[in-house]
Structure 1
Amino acid sequence: MIYMKASIILGTLLLSLTSPSTDADFSRLQTALEQYGFKVKLETPPVREAYGLFQSKTKTIWINPIVFDLGIARPTLVHEAVHAAQFCYGKTEVQALGLEIEPPPMTRLYFMRYHSYTRQIEAEAYTIQVQPDSVDLVISLLNKHCQKKK
């Protein structure tokens, strides 16, 4: 019985640690995105098996709730936020920012499956999401390329 109670308490603590309300960087980035008119939905994206999704037409970012359990919520939001910044830069479509950051070898596996221009867009998103200062970096991209909603 004691072990069961300890397991329940530990499980509850672990779940609370992964929620967006306790991750200051996640919340800070979500707030920044919302200030630029993007909607962040913490629900299953409309594309099957996606962890995150950016839809330019509606300026909506979906974050699959499973990413909190997997411990990848912040990089997932950063990735989609890069696409939001790319959208602001492109005005009406997602466009590569032409960043001077070299993609780390570990990220190549993820974006090399894309072709041509989409590869460059994804390379930027994967590259930013693995940077130690990824949240600050993507917020600076939003500040540079997006206009705050009125």
Structure 2
Amino acid sequence: MIDIRQLAGLEGVPNKVFDTLVMGRGTYEPALDVPTTSPYSRLRQYIVSSTLTIDDPTVQVETGDPIELIRRLKAEDTGMDIYLRGGGRLAASLLPEIDEIILTSYPVVAGTGISMFSGQFHPTLFTPARRESFDNGTQVTWLTRA
């Protein structure tokens, strides 16, 4: 089974920031083509989908309200953060529960792509907390809920 951490050269390195991953079906499905059912095996993995079934005890498919899932996970207080991976529709539905956005921008115009938040428009104020720039022009900005 292939693990993302293995591909990135991070095998055996402990999690430092988050221990839980939540993603939608569209973000998860490419892993099945690799093939692997558990692409982030060192994390607790939750797939939000009303149509997907996975036979892997390390991956939990959540068919209910994603807001309730996030609130339940936050209440567990494991001491680590929850990582939302991809999916503009899922991100838009979870916007009331998002505490921080880590935004990576590249100096490339690539055409169309997936919206960061896709759905009803709900202006939500976030404040830049930190920015890191790299020699290739890439910038990572940490935004916290105001």
Give the structure-2-normalised TM-score. Answer: 0.23
Which structure's residues are more often strand, by fraction?
2
Which structure's residues are more often helix, by fraction?
1
